[in-house]
Structure 1
Amino acid sequence: MQRPVPLNEEIVLDPKRYIVSKTDTKGIITYGNEYFIEIVGYSEDELIGQPHNIIRHPDMPKIVFKVMWDRINSGKNIKAIVKNLAKDGRYYWVVTDFEPKYDPLTNKIIGHTAYRKAAPKKAVEAIEPIYQKLLAIEATGGMEASGKFLVEYLDLKKVTYDEFVDSLIEYRGLTKLFFEAMKKLFG
Structure 2
Amino acid sequence: MKDLPVTDKERFFNDDDIIVSKTDLKGRITYANQTFLDIADYKEKEVLGQPHSLIRHPDMPRSIFKLLWDTLQNGQEIFAYVKNRTKMGDYYWVIAHVTPSRNPQGKVTGYHSNRRVPDRAVLDETIIPLYQELLTIERQSDRKTGLEKSYEKLAAVLQEQAQAYDEFIANIMRKAG
RMSD: 1.6
Aligned equivalents of 1:91, 1:57: Cα separation in 2? 7
Kindly provide the CA deviation profile for residues 82-102 of structure 1, in whole angstroms up to 9, marking residues without a partner as x. Answer: 000001111000000000011
Deviation for aligned residue 1:158: 1.5
Which secondary structure state, in structure 2, belongs to the residue aligned with residue 170 of structure 1? helix
Number of residue pairs aligned between Structure 1 and Structure 2: 172
Q: Show structure 1 runs of 4+ deviating over 3 A.
A: none
Aligned equivalents of 1:102, 1:172: Cα separation in 2? 32
Aligned equivalents of 1:132, 1:154: Cα separation in 2? 16
Deviation for aligned residue 1:3: 4.4
Change (3 A) 1:121 1:89: same
Residue 148 of structure 2, aligned match among 144, 148, 173: 144
Which secondary structure state, in structure 2, belongs to the residue aligned with residue 60 of structure 1? coil
The gaps in structure 1 that reach 5 residues or longer are 174-187
Q: TM-score, normalised by structure 1?
A: 0.88
Aligned equivalents of 1:84, 1:15: Cα separation in 2? 17
Q: Which moved more, 1:158-167 or 1:112-121?
A: 158-167
Q: TM-score, normalised by structure 2?
A: 0.92
Residue of structure 2 equivalent to 1:183 = none
Aligned equivalents of 1:75, 1:153: Cα separation in 2? 24
Aligned identity (percent) is: 40
Partner AA of 2:102 in structure 1: Y
Aligned equivalents of 2:175, 2:107: Cα separation in 1? 28
Deviation for aligned residue 1:162: 0.8
Partner AA of 1:114 in structure 2: S
The gaps in structure 2 that reach 5 residues or longer are none
Change (3 A) 1:104 1:18: same
